[in-house]
Amino acid sequence: MVFDQLRDGYDVVVVGGGAAGLSGALPLVRSRRSVAVIDAGAPRNAPAEGVHGLLGREGTPPQELVERGRAEVRGYGGHVVRGEVASAARDGDGFRVVLADGRAVRARRLLVATGLADELPDLPGLRARWGRDVLHCPYCHGWEVRDQAIGVLATGPMAVHQALMFRQLSEDVVFFAHTAGEPAAEQAEELAARGIRVVAGEAAAVETAGDRLTGVRLADGTVVARDALAVAPRMAARAKFLSDLGLFPVEHPSGVGEHIPAEPTGRTPVPGVWVAGNATDLMAQVAPAAAAGLSAGAQINGDLVAEETRRAVAARRERASSGEAERRRGR
């Protein structure tokens, strides 16, 4: 992939070039806006083999999807720039965006589409299997582990729900109480009714053999054989670079992590800054992240059209009143 050189200024700088950012750029470049998508190149689903639940592109490798999106944005004259944004600050009626390598660029509007970081349970062996046979989302990878021996590592309030979801895909599901502790009576009854065995005690490690997960080792040394392990990472919006703008991530009401709050259109409380995708909607899969980006991009174009129209009307009135003054002087 060839990346573009960053110019001095753009109508819109999109920070993050995953599903949300690239989709956000499309309506803008197609509206003849100058756009730079600045992307650090680490989409959240990078470890996965394919993107599932995506109509028309089912199973496409994540990298291929991003490459296609970049080519589409560039096809309309948009710039796709490799880099990491370190800060963004108000600069007159726009913004100054500074990259970690020192480059800087001006933008009239910002679209934040930086996604989120999955904070995985700190269990030896687990991180290396993330996105392969350590999973979080039944819709993303559930079909791929159907009928397998699945474990659910309980670390928070969503664990029982997650176990019941994976039970739809396999009759062999084990619930590891781990740090969440044993489920309350009502939840224990639900798990028992669905044939999900509860294993008490903390897990100590994920067991692997070659390139696959083989089980979960408990603190007492017992190994419970499993083919796949579901976890629920805490999700944290990638948003540190927004602090100079007074935009900070806040705890999501569901308790699953922190996000940048925004209106349904993606408009944030900071004028001129929109957000789309996982950075604001922690649960969004690829299709909803792309849809949110598209909608935010269209909103930004509408906002620029409104600003340009206000300016044109003001200039027209100014011309009209100075023409009137000329005429009066000429009388």
CB 110 within 8 A of CB 95: yes
Edge to edge, what strands does the sheet with 203-209 contain? Answer: 203-209, 212-218, 223-225
**289 is a site residue for ligand FAD (CB under 6 A):** yes
**44 is a site residue for ligand FAD (CB under 6 A):** yes
CB of 174 to ligand FAD, least distance (A): 21
Q: Closer CB to ligand FAD, residue 17 or residue 266?
A: 17
What residues between 68 and 127 interact with ligand FAD by CB under 6 A?
Answer: 84-85, 113-115, 118
Q: Closer CB to ligand FAD, residue 17 or residue 257?
A: 17
Q: Please enumerate in sequence order all residues whose Cβ is within 8 A of that of 293, keeping only pairs 6 or more positions apart, or say none.
A: 19, 20, 21, 22, 23, 24, 25, 111, 113, 276, 277
Phi-psi region of 102 (alpha: psi -120 to 50; beta: other; left: phi over 0): left
Q: Choose, by CB under 6 A, the member of 162, 268, 278, 295 that binds ligand FAD.
A: 278
Q: Choose, by CB under 6 A, the member of 27, 69, 131, 266 that binds ligand FAD.
A: 131
Place of tokens 């629920």: 232
CB of 93 to ligand FAD, least distance (A): 23
CB of 39 to ligand FAD, least distance (A): 5
What residues between 219 and 258 interact with ligand FAD by CB under 6 A?
Answer: 238, 241
Q: Which phi and psi angles does 289 have, rounded to 5°? A: -65, -45
Place of tokens 């309030």: 157
**133 is a site residue for ligand FAD (CB under 6 A):** no
CA-angle at 271, arms to 90 and 315, nearest 5°: 90
Residues that bind ligand FAD in the complex, under the rule CB under 6 A: 15-21, 38-45, 47-48, 51-54, 84-85, 113-115, 118, 131, 140, 238, 241, 277-278, 284-287, 289
